[in-house]
């Protein structure tokens, strides 16, 4: 049976108008060997790489459906780890722009990402209170650390020791020993959420920022550095302005320190506090790679910069302080011949100096620091108004002044876009917000014109596409010339907000509706410009229709016979245009009608309301054809596709939906926006749809030639719902674990379920083919000759391999990060066959590392059933022998390779004599230093 009606699919084409979204953080990245020039910013579900020098977008890292929440570049600068709202983590290559590694382990948004010094491990913290350590090289999770009671805000590896320190919104700072995955210390010296922490002074000091104006400093002493078994006395710090010690907080901290335990690794004592100028909470706290510059900011637009002095600089400062104190004491002393004994105490302000503060143009969302080769400090900011700014600071000067060196503004609006319009040739797109009007080229997505304006609510292109008209919140109309970008005229149209405008079908004028309960009719006219002899476009008011309620929306019928007006009393009234007489009243909505549109033939009018419904009416008699529950929140915009009875609706539920007004069916849902959608526009050809959202992004949707069948669309929707329900199901129970505890790093997803199904299918095929081969051998013996064996098409497609080899290929084809979860959901009935196959694979020495990982995991989760099964005892005994011998062989090969690489390294160093020159230079500098000291001693003696 043929299709009665064919629809064409709309797909997402591009995201533009967005510089950086608010949920993630901005980071410097290294591209083409240049540092400090390129930054990565989150852009909804993508990551944009911006060139700060040119202000251009040079790379887009295509992401998942979820919004980006966290970014972290690898130490080698070749990769970028990206955390998402659903807890997934992807590692992108900055050279190719592809995300080859995906980790699924968290059940909520990723809030923190941090690489270790070598870049082999990645620590991730999440809103689900867990910390997971991932092996980036093996593409798998190592272990899950449970202990925090609220979202994890920061995680840091220590360079010299296998330790991890984490902070959370539960007011705790926890120290983890990664050798045994144990939390050995919990710092409880904070009364509010800990939002950030950094390690400075060669990891001997920890600085934390909480939800107050106090930066707390903690001195770290490691166990091997403490000679006396008794606890050392805490360093006393003299009270001075800017330093604050809270006895209650210190007592709470010492409660954990006083507990004696044999597995103590370090001691952490409070060294003092540094008061910030801001009184709000710390949003970000960071230190540059040199460990010398510390910076933090709150919820305002000020970044405070501190300098951490070295030991030599601190000693020099203390010597000056002591000399000044002695001089002052000598002056105050009665006996000038005696030198009074004086002493000075070191405060935290002597070690950490306040350098300057950087004031940005808007509130700071996140920042990153980098030292340029010229010695300047560069600070890049992602601001809350869709803006990126770069400041440079010379740290060598005594009072450095920050200078703004770059700014990315042209790529987006500073506030939410409230109105969109297409030009008549489908090429230009107009977007207007509270501060500016921008004209975009649809094909290149470049902004070709930016014009300042008042708070815009509605807009349209004047016929000819040379001028545009904007309706504002103050009731003014602003007329702009696109060629020059100038404001031609501002007309006071309404006393209140100008909510809606509609261009007349004859293109000679338009109608406006505002909050002053009036509908006004305007005509275009040419007037002589005062500044030149040429004429320019202007408008004049011709008629006015006064109503009893505020006008929310106005719309002409295509034949210009009728005018539909939406009022605040939840009704839509229709008037004759020529006489302005009342014709129909459409009532039925429970809340005001926010948007509406009339079809091209004037037969139907569709209205969208804040009550989440869309109603389709006939314009002949005003009868309601159908009421559709369209969105889960208010319907914000509605537009018919030209020359059809299909229309689009946009809602506050982040979705755009396409409907058929004849069959009253939902055709397609366009998902992509992450916040409320304010407006949309359909091109005159109907091939393009552009939408604007509260997430600051503009999205372009394109009509393809692919036919859309409703039954298939419903089936795809059901499959998506099933996959979502599978991901939400509880994890399989593991023997030895209590309910709710899951110490495995992965989580159940539809990919892991499909991987388990592939393993089961491979085992089933292996069983069938094994049974067929037994039957074939029996047939051959009975016939007394060789009978041809039928070949399985699946095995033939993989190169005519054996069934056991096909099973091995299936295991190798599963992602490393999904392997354990796939084995976890595998029924036990397949495990005996897997163990038998593994025995044969390991004996041949193929993929020993992968097979041992699978084997040990299966033994761990099915230990009771395997040991109680007498049939599997000989298989386990054989596996024990073969596994130990083959693993030792692999260890020997790796050890030999490592020894060879070390030998080659020593040979290269000996040839280049780098080590010799470095040692000789250090010895020479030490001799010079000693010679200078000797000369000073001789001069003082003489």
How does DSSP assign 742-797, residue by residue? --SS----HHHHHHHHHHHHHHHHHHHHHHHHHHHHHHHHHHTSPPPPPPPHHHHH
| pLDDT band at residue 224 under the 50/70/90 scheme | low
What is the per-residue pLDDT for 60? 92
825 located within any domain: yes
875 located within any domain: yes
| pLDDT band at residue 729 under the 50/70/90 scheme | low
Q: Taking residues 81-94, what's their average pLDDT? A: 93
Among 154-163, 586-595, 623-632, 743-752, which stretch is predicted with the lowest mean pLDDT?
Answer: 743-752
What is the per-residue pLDDT for 708? 87
Q: Domain check: are 624 and 693 in the same one? A: yes
Q: Domain check: are 690 and 763 in the same one? A: no
93 located within any domain: yes
Q: What is the SS3 assignment for 558?
A: coil
Q: Domain check: are 700 and 808 in the same one? A: no
Percent of the chain with pLDDT over 90: 50
The span from the CA of 899 to the CA of 889, in Å, is: 15
Sign of the alpha-carbon dihedral angle for 896, 902, 905, 910: negative
pLDDT above 60 (res 52): yes
What is the per-residue pLDDT across 467-526, written as a single tens digit (0 to 9) for each?
999 999 999 999 999 999 999 999 999 999 999 999 999 999 999 999 999 999 999 998
- Segment holding 469, helix H or strand E: strand 467-472
| pLDDT band at residue 911 under the 50/70/90 scheme | confident
| pLDDT band at residue 720 under the 50/70/90 scheme | confident
* Tokens representing residue 11 in the block: 């797909």
Among 66-75, 442-451, 791-800, 854-863, which stretch is predicted with the lowest mean pLDDT?
Answer: 791-800
What is the per-residue pLDDT across 412-442, written as a single tens digit (0 to 9) for each?
999 999 999 999 999 999 999 999 999 999 9
Phi, psi dihedral angles at 829 (to 5 degrees): -60, -20
Give the list of residues 6+ apart from residue 452 with CB closer than 8 angstroms, or none. Answer: 435, 436, 437, 487
What is the C-alpha radius of gyration for the chain, rounded to an integer number of angstroms? 36
- Its domain, for residue 802, covers 750-890
Which of 890, 914, 934 represents a domain boundary (last residue)?
890
The span from the CA of 263 to the CA of 284, in Å, is: 33
Which of 100, 119, 138 represents a domain boundary (last residue)?
119
The span from the CA of 801 to the CA of 804, in Å, is: 8
- CATH code (residue 570): 2.130.10.10
What is the per-residue pLDDT for 697? 93
Q: Domain check: are 653 and 785 in the same one? A: no
pLDDT above 50 (res 304): yes
Which of 66, 89, 119 represents a domain boundary (last residue)?
119
Is the separation of the CB atoms in 426 and 683 below 8 Å?
yes
The span from the CA of 770 to the CA of 860, in Å, is: 28
What is the per-residue pLDDT for 539? 93
Give the list of residues 6+ apart from residue 730 with CB closer than 8 angstroms, or none. Answer: none
Q: Domain check: are 681 and 771 in the same one? A: no
Q: Taking residues 87-91, what's their average pLDDT? A: 93
What is the per-residue pLDDT across 623-656, written as a single tens digit (0 to 9) for each?
999 999 999 999 999 999 999 999 999 999 999 9
How many independent structural domains does the chain possess? 3
| pLDDT band at residue 244 under the 50/70/90 scheme | very low
| pLDDT band at residue 938 under the 50/70/90 scheme | low
Q: Domain check: are 688 and 554 in the same one? A: yes
- Residue 706 CB coordination number (10 Å): 10
Sign of the alpha-carbon dihedral angle for 443, 446, 448, 453: positive
- Segment holding 925, helix H or strand E: helix 914-941
Residue 417 is given by DSSP the state: -
What secondary structure does DSSP assign to 697-742, as a single string?
-EEEEEEEEEEE-HHHHHHHHHHHHHHHHHHHSPPPP-TT--TT--
Percent of the chain with pLDDT over 70: 89
What is the per-residue pLDDT for 345? 72
149 located within any domain: no
pLDDT above 60 (res 334): no
Residue 402, CB-side half-sphere exposure with 13 Å CA sphere: 19
How far, in Å, are 103, 523, 727 from residue 88 at the CA level? 6, 56, 12
Phi, psi dihedral angles at 329 (to 5 degrees): -70, -35
pLDDT above 90 (res 600): yes
Q: Taking residues 877-896, what's their average pLDDT? A: 89
pLDDT above 60 (res 234): no
* Tokens representing residue 339 in the block: 């030198």
Q: Taking residues 116-122, what's their average pLDDT? A: 92
What is the per-residue pLDDT across 247-274, written as a single tens digit (0 to 9) for each?
344 444 434 444 444 346 788 888 888 8
Most confident of 165-174, 273-282, 735-744, 918-927: 165-174
pLDDT above 90 (res 863): no
Q: Which residues pair with 896 in a beta bridge?
A: none
| pLDDT band at residue 235 under the 50/70/90 scheme | very low
* Tokens representing residue 533 in the block: 């002899």
- Segment holding 18, helix H or strand E: none
Q: Domain check: are 681 and 754 in the same one? A: no
Q: 84: closest CA among 101, 100, 103?
A: 103
Buried b (16+ CB within 10 A) or exposed e, 919-928: eeeeeeeeee
Q: 48: closest CA among 63, 35, 32, 37?
A: 63
What is the per-residue pLDDT across 565-581, written as a single tens digit (0 to 9) for each?
999 999 999 999 999 99
Q: Domain check: are 577 and 634 in the same one? A: yes
Q: 304: closest CA among 237, 374, 242, 372?
A: 242
Q: Taking residues 339-349, what's their average pLDDT? A: 69
Among 450-459, 510-519, 549-558, 702-711, which stretch is predicted with the lowest mean pLDDT?
Answer: 702-711
Q: Domain check: are 583 and 672 in the same one? A: yes
817 located within any domain: yes
The span from the CA of 41 to the CA of 94, in Å, is: 13
Is the separation of the CB atoms in 370 and 35 below 8 Å?
yes
Give the list of residues 6+ apart from residue 417 with CB closer than 8 angstroms, or none. Answer: 17, 431, 432, 433, 678, 679, 692, 698
Q: Domain check: are 691 and 803 in the same one? A: no
Q: What is the SS3 assignment for 486?
A: strand
332 located within any domain: no
What is the per-residue pLDDT for 110? 95
What is the per-residue pLDDT across 364-404, written as a single tens digit (0 to 9) for each?
999 999 987 777 889 999 999 999 999 998 877 667 888 99
Q: Which residues pair with 358 in a beta bridge?
A: 303
| pLDDT band at residue 51 under the 50/70/90 scheme | very high
2 located within any domain: no
What is the per-residue pLDDT for 704? 93
CA end-to-end distance (rounded Å), the chain: 115
What is the per-residue pLDDT for 339? 54
Q: Domain check: are 786 and 650 in the same one? A: no
The span from the CA of 863 to the CA of 867, in Å, is: 6
What is the per-residue pLDDT for 124? 95
Q: Domain check: are 877 and 779 in the same one? A: yes
Give me the residue label for tokens 């995201």.
15
Residue 16 is given by DSSP the state: E
pLDDT above 70 (res 595): yes
Q: Taking residues 608-636, what's their average pLDDT? A: 93
* Tokens representing residue 488 in the block: 């031609």
What is the per-residue pLDDT for 790? 76
What is the per-residue pLDDT for 252? 41
- Residue 531 CB coordination number (10 Å): 6
pLDDT above 70 (res 914): no
- CATH code (residue 88): 2.120.10.60
What is the per-residue pLDDT for 338? 52
630 located within any domain: yes
What is the per-residue pLDDT for 28? 93
Give the list of residues 6+ apart from residue 741 with CB closer than 8 angstroms, or none. Answer: 146
Mean pLDDT, the chain, rounded, equals 85
* Tokens representing residue 534 in the block: 């040429």
Buried b (16+ CB within 10 A) or exposed e, 143-158: bbbebbeebbbbbbbb
């Amino acid at each position: 049976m043929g299709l009665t009606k064919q629809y064409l699919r709309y797909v997402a084409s591009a995201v533009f108008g967005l510089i950086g979204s608010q949920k993630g953080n901005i980071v410097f990245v290294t591209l083409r060997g240049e540092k400090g020039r390129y930054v990565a910013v989150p852009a909804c579900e993508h990551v944009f790489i911006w060139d700060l020098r040119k202000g251009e977008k040079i790379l887009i890292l295509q992401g998942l459906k979820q919004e980006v929440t966290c970014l972290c570049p690898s130490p080698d600068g070749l990769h970028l780890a990206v955390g998402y709202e659903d807890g997934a983590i992807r590692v992108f290559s900055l050279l190719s722009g592809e995300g080859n590694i995906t980790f699924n382990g968290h059940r909520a948004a990723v809030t923190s990402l941090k690489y270790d010094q070598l870049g082999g491990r990645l620590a991730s913290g999440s809103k689900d209170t867990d910390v997971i350590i991932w092996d980036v090289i093996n593409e798998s999770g190592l272990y899950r650390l449970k202990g925090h009671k609220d979202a994890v805000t920061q995680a840091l590896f220590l360079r010299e020791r296998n330790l991890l320190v984490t902070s959370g919104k539960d007011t705790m700072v926890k120290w983890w020993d990664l050798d045994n995955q144990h939390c050995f210390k919990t710092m409880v010296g904070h009364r509010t959420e800990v939002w950030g922490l950094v390690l400075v002074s060669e990891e001997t000091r920890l600085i934390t920022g909480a939800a107050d104006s106090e930066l707390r400093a903690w001195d770290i002493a490691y166990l091997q550095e403490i000679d006396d078994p008794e606890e050392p006395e805490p360093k006393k710090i003299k009270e001075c302005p800017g330093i604050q010690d809270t006895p209650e907080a210190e007592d709470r901290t010492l409660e954990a320190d006083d507990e004696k335990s044999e597995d103590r690794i370090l001691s952490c004592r409070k060294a003092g506090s540094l008061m910030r100028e801001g009184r709000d909470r710390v949003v970000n706290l960071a230190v540059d790679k040199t460990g010398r510059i510390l910076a933090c900011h709150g919820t305002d637009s000020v970044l405070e910069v501190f300098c951490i002095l070295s030991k030599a600089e601190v000693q020099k400062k203390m010597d000056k302080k002591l000399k000044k104190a002695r001089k002052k004491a000598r002056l105050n002393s009665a006996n000038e011949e005696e030198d009074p004994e004086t002493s000075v105490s070191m405060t935290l302000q002597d070690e950490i100096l306040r350098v300057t503060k950087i004031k940005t143009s808007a509130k700071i969302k996140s920042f990153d620091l980098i030292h340029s080769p010229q010695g300047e400090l560069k600070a890049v900011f992602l601001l809350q108004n869709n803006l990126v700014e770069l400041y440079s600071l010379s740290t060598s000067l005594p009072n450095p002044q920050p200078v703004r060196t770059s700014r990315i503004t042209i790529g987006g609006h500073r506030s939410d876009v409230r109105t969109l319009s297409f030009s008549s040739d489908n090429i230009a797109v107009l977007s207007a917000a509270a501060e500016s009007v921008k004209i975009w080229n649809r094909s290149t997505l470049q902004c070709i014109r930016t014009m300042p304006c008042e708070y815009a609510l509605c807009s349209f292109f004047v016929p000819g596409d040379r001028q545009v008209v904007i309706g504002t919140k103050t009731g003014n109309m602003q007329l702009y010339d696109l060629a020059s970008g100038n404001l031609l005229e501002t007309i006071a149209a309404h006393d209140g907000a100008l909510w809606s405008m509609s261009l007349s079908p004859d293109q000679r004028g338009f109608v406006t509706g505002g909050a002053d309960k009036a509908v006004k009719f305007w005509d275009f006219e040419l007037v002589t410009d005062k500044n030149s002899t040429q004429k320019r476009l202007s408008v004049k008011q011709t008629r006015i229709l006064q109503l009893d309620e505020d006008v929310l929306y106005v719309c002409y019928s295509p034949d210009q016979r009728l005018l539909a007006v939406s009022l605040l009393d939840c009704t839509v009234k229709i008037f004759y245009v020529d006489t302005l007489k009342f014709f129909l009243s459409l009532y039925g909505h429970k809340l005001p009608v926010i948007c509406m549109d009339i079809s091209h033939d004037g037969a139907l009018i569709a209205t969208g309301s804040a009550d989440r419904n869309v109603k389709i009416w006939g314009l002949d008699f005003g009868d309601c054809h159908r009421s559709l529950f369209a969105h889960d929140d208010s319907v914000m915009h509605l537009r018919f596709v030209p020359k059809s009875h299909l229309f689009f609706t946009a809602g506050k539920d982040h979705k755009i939906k396409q409907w058929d007004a004849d069959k009253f069916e939902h055709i397609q849902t366009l998902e992509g926006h992450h916040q409320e959608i304010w407006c949309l526009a359909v091109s005159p050809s109907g091939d393009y749809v552009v939408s604007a959202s509260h997430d600051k992004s503009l999205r372009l949707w394109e009509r393809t030639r692919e036919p859309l069948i409703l039954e298939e669309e419903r089936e795809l929707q059901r499959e998506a719902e099933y996959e979502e329900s599978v991901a939400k199901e509880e994890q399989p129970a593991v023997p030895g674990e209590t309910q709710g505890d899951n110490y495995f790093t992965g989580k159940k997803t539809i990919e892991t379920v499909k991987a388990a199904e592939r393993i089961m299918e491979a085992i089933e095929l292996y069983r069938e083919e094994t049974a067929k081969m037994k039957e074939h051998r029996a047939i051959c013996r009975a016939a007394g000759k060789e009978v041809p064996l039928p070949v399985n098409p699946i095995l033939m497609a993989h190169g005519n391999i054996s069934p056991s080899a096909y099973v091995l290929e299936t295991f190798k084809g599963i992602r490393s990060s999904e392997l354990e979860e796939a084995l976890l959901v595998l029924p036990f009935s397949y495990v005996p066959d897997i163990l038998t196959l593994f025995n044969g694979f390991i004996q041949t020495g193929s993929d020993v590392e992968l097979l041992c990982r699978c084997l040990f995991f299966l033994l761990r989760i099915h230990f009771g059933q395997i040991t109680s099964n007498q049939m599997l005892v000989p298989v386990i005994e054989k596996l024990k022998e073969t596994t130990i011998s083959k693993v030792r062989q692999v260890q020997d090969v790796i050890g030999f390779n490592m020894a060879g690489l070390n030998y080659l390294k020593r040979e290269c160093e000996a040839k280049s004599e780098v080590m010799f020159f470095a040692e000789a230079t250090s010895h020479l500098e030490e001799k010079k230093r000693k010679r200078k000291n000797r000369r000073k001693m001789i001069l003082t003696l003489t």
